[in-house]
Every structure is written in C-alpha cells, then in structure tokens.
Amino acid sequence: MSADWPLGVARHLLDSVDSTNAHAARLARGLSGPAWIVAAEQTAGKGRRGRDWRSPRGNFYGTYVMRPTERAEVVALRSFAAALALREACVALTGLPGAFALKWPNDVLVNGGKLAGILLESAGQGGGVSHLAIGIGVNLIGAPEPDAVEPGALRPVSLLAETGKRIEPSVFLDTLAPAYARWEAVFTTQGFAPLRAEWLAHAARLGEPITARSGSHTREGMFETVDAQGALVLMTAAGRVAIPAAEVFF
C-alpha cells in the first residue's frame, strides 16, 4: 500500500468478482468508513444504461463506496470529483497532461479516444442516500473493439496503446485513491464550484457543436458550459437549454 494512501479509507483487493459496484452494495451496510474495492477481473461488469463492460485482466476495475450525508442531487456531483481524480492519476503516471480530457458526463479521454468511464450507483429513501458506489473502469492495457460500441460513440482506447506506458492496476489504485481523497475534501469543504471550474478547464469540445441524446430525444448545439447543478448547457437553435442527463456524441 502506498505511503500516500488516504487515512481512514479501507482497501479490498479481489481476484474475481461479478462487479465491484455490486460487491460494494453487498458490503455497504457493514462498512465503518469509505472503502476502495478493486478486482483483477469482473465477470458481470456493467457500464451506463446496463450495458455489458468487457473486463479482461490487466485493466483497472474499482469502486469507491461511502455513506454520504448530502441530498441525492448533491451526492451525484461526486462524478466530477472522480473524473478529476482519474485525469490527475493518468497525468501523474504518464507525464502527458495535454493528452487527457474530460467528456461530460463521466468519461476520461486520451488522445480523443475513450479511456475510462465512471458509473455511479446508490441506494436510499426519499431524498437521502444510504450508500454511494462510484465505479471506475480504465483501459490500462486493452480496449473493446470499435464494433463493440454503439454507432457514433468515441473509439475505445487503452493507456498502453496511446501512451506506451504499461501501468499495473495496483499502481493505478495507489495514485488514484489519494487523488480522489483530495477532490473529496475540496467538495465537502468548498462545494461544487471549484470542481466545476477545474472540470471545465479540461473539458473536451467546450465551445464546439455536440449532440446530446436522452432516450429518443436528441439535441444539437454549442457546448457552452456545465451549470452549478452539473447539467450540460447547450446553445441550440431554440435557445439555451440545460440537460441534466444524456449521452454526448461528437
């Protein structure tokens, strides 16, 4: 374990699991504090909208699980903390700050291709959240074939192929966990504003035309910003619109 490992955060290392988010849900009630759950292999990993997530050994599959105290809509903003920590870890391990960008709502890109994704899952009642699982998958050494993703989606890429850097999952965890702890501390003490500003500083296609799809509804417009609630703001032909949830296509 790294000397920089965040104080009070547990660490669960598994060889194989159905998914780290599912395991986090099983462990959540008995946890005394936040924890990282990392597996060498997932047998039933999931991406956004329940899509299968290919999980070969050598890539990074991890979940940060915690018991938040904020309202559900505030808890969800931690996806930005996770994205910032992911980018910070990638830069630290490769020394290539210009290669990495952030794609709304929760992807990390390298050289324009999709390197990593984030999946938030939670449980609770009313406006409260009993636990939050932040699932993170990073293509360290391998990526899905282009025909495995939907038409128009960004090409999947690996860190190894794009940068020539072979990073072990354990090394990636030792860099990611302290980075996330720093952004978690900023979020809990200063709120979303500093995360929003830093995220926008590294946003892919900011000021450019993009497409946002939510169900059967498609909107096209100029990517203006992310608002104080984390929503995507587009300037469309019909005017400015804030989109709280969608998939973005370039």
Contact between residue 212 and residue 218 where contact means Cβ atoms under 8 Å apart = yes
Residue 200, pLDDT above cutoff 90: yes
3-state secondary structure 33-84: CCEEEEEEEECCCECHHHCECCCCECEEEEEEEECCCCCHHHHCCHHHHHHH
123, 28 contact by CB (below 8 A): yes
* Domains of the chain in sequence order: 10-201 (3.30.930.10), 209-249 (2.30.30)
Cα separation, 182 vs 78, whole angstroms: 12
Taking the whole predicted model, whether its pTM rises above 0.75 is answered as: yes
Whether 81 and 187 have beta carbons less than 8 Å apart is answered as yes
State pLDDT tens for residues 201-210: 999 999 999 9
Q: Model confidence over 34-86: pLDDT tens digits? A: 999 999 999 987 655 555 656 789 999 999 999 999 999 999 999 999 999 99
Determine what percent of the chain is predicted with pLDDT higher than 70: 94
